Amino acid sequence: MPNTGTESNILPREKIVGKEYYVDSDSFDDRDGFIWFDGEMVPWRDARVHVLSHALHYASAVFEGERVYGGEIFKLTEHTERLAESAQSLGFQLPYGTAEIDAACHEVCTANAIVDGYVRPLAWRGSEMMGVSAQATRIHLAIAAWPWPSYFSPEARMKGIRLQTSEWRRPSPETAPVKTKAAGLYMICTLSKHAAERDGFEDALMLDWRGRVAEATGANIFFIFGDDTLHTPVPDCFLDGITRRTVIGLARDRGIEVVERIVMPDELDRATEVFLTGTACEVTPVGSIDEHTYTPGEITKVLMEDYEKTVGKQPADAVSAA
């Protein structure tokens, strides 16, 4: 069985929020600002739920992660539509429509003066019922936003982050709604990332239940095998990320062939470039997976630049030619 860890190997907070990570280190329950909560803007510290909320016990919650660049939320409506689809997969409907949720996301960014940051919508079942069945529970929706320049520090990102293959596996589509952003699906991601950090890595590589390469704990993965072709696992048991699809489009615009296929762990030693994609990590080079090492190359760098240009992170004239 995978090692779930004990009190003796829990890392201190200062070691996690350190030079390898570039996230806000303030506690998330004790901040100034506002959170949009069931249709109202409430003070940050007052956005609370009851301990007997169904979602806390049975993971009946879905969420999104969105990035704000220069005051604009990148692909906001796509994220909102995916939130609604995730909710439907878990058997409930959001109490607000797409346009209302989009407007609320903008509202919370304005209320917190977010120019470059992160937006987190969350929908969950409330406390009206306590048990596996919860069909009479109220559906809640909250949206928070905070400054978040980068998931990894600039230094770690440019040298390539280090991944460790996790002992936990992505489940079969027959066992869970694997193509949603359902809270319960991230339990094994947390376990995997904690184990990787404990061993000195930044993140973990997840295989699927068949032993195939799937993704990282919160990002999709791409490989170059010494040619000009991008290879990426078929998203049949994990999230087909919005950033993933964006980068595939950018690559094809550059004339780079993209092949979605089965990728096996014994191919890792043949890869010459590896990178991750995700809303939080954007396009991040991978420097190593277990004992295999990689150097960020031209394709990785070009796609990093193209992505930053697309989201408005840097001026168009700062992007190098292919």
Domains of the chain: 13-147 (3.30.470.10), 154-313 (3.20.10.10)
CB contact at 8 A, 322 and 252: no
Residue 181 annotated in active site: yes
Catalytic residue among 179, 181, 193, 313: 181
Q: Give 220's strand partners.
A: 277
Give the C-alpha distances (Å, rounded to integers) separating 285 from 35, 174, 194, 320. Answer: 33, 32, 20, 17
Q: 80, 141, 144: which is closest to 111 by C-alpha? A: 144
* Contact call for residues 180 and 90 (beta carbons, < 8 A): yes
Tell me the two tokens of residue 135: 């069909």
Q: Which of 156, 116, 151, 161 is nearest to 23 (CA)?
A: 151
Those residues with Cβ within 8 angstroms of residue 62's Cβ, 6 or more apart along the chain or in another chain: 83, 86, 87, 89, 90, 122, 123, 124, 180, 181, 182, 183
Angle between helices 98-111 and 76-89 (to 10 degrees): 120
Q: Which two tokens stand for residue 136?
A: 């009479």
- Number of residues that this document lists for the chain: 322
Phi, psi dihedral angles at 106 (to 5 degrees): -65, -40
Which parts of the chain register pLDDT below 50? 5-8, 13-22, 315-322
Residue 77 is predicted with a pLDDT of: 98
Packing angle of the helix pair 76-89, 242-253 (nearest 10 deg): 130
